[in-house]
Chains A and B, each alone.
Chain A
């Protein structure tokens, strides 16, 4: 195969991988937004939190797998705690107050991290099992870890889809999204559902941060960066739509990757151009509904 084509394919793989990672983060955001009606600016901080937890636990245990195994439940616990202490007070409030409170939360989480582990940039070694590349042509090869990331994200995405479409819990979540009062009247504890969804979203974002860390390094600003992009994805896909978040993530992942490679000066703009274009065509996103 000619080198140019292989190079192009590598970018496609990179774009898809980034998109799938974005999906893990954006799906939590869109669920919380779509089901509980809460805009959570601190969602990017959970991603950052996951990466730093992975770093700390890997340094402690010497093993990324164990770190992830311990870290994800830890993140979920943090999610439960935050929902119980703070977020449940936001459900009936105006979006602007949610923006205010969650912005305050970003500040708190960032500084807590700073106090706990400092502000240094860290790297995590790719686990030995996956630390090799598949050669594609004489000069180009593709790191297996990235393929593994994509597969894991895909697996999680499939799991989510099955959970939402095929299980009773998923059905309850979908029902709660379209009609909260009705679900309550049916005797289902909507509060418990909300807590689960929120904790799930936190865990997903943290997990994404954990698996991304070996490939992308661990640094203080990583939360804010992915926050903005995740919001873009959610809005493109349509608020509350997992399908939309999936498509939006892939679209943005590819746009961003190709932008950086083929038009680096305007790479940053690419994402926003895509969003503006989608919204001007479909003002409520690809699969959004006017609530």
Chain B
């Protein structure tokens, strides 16, 4: 089994009296898709926010590639190699789809002085942007204003931007939300392919998608981990079935 890329130990987040995430521990290995599922309010998005640096944990540890990253600011987390996509599309609406990706790709260039170059001459950046767009199924030179894209296309763009920073670990927060079946299928194929070069922590509600791509599953309920294991083990677990998968979902 591959060395853990991300290790989460007893991560906890309290908001006053409410404990949104309670002692969560899990691991994501490189080349692995680890899905986190659970009903609304289970703490999944809070968990992602804690890992991306958008929230500071109340307790617990997060290590990435052996380095401690607990409580680091989002930009530092991103620079270390963790890319995050958002549940609600978080793009640059005024800019074109291409410019969105190029801006994302540019984030990898470090050092303010090296930026004093004509943006258009930065061919490598353009290439990176084009390939990111192509990978998610958008047109490579997409010149359309981001806000003019359809919802599904915006979600694709959202992922493209996250890919453009070439992270080692991807935190995907409900990437399939609001997508039609054809777009979903395309996204699922993409996510499955991501496992080749990345570690992926996937938060999703679409059970079919989750069971088809995940290598490991963690089920959360009320901020805690209910159970964690392979898709088959989770499918078979009586505890999980009762608490969550329960009625109506084909397991």
A contacting B, Cβ–Cβ less than 8 Å: no
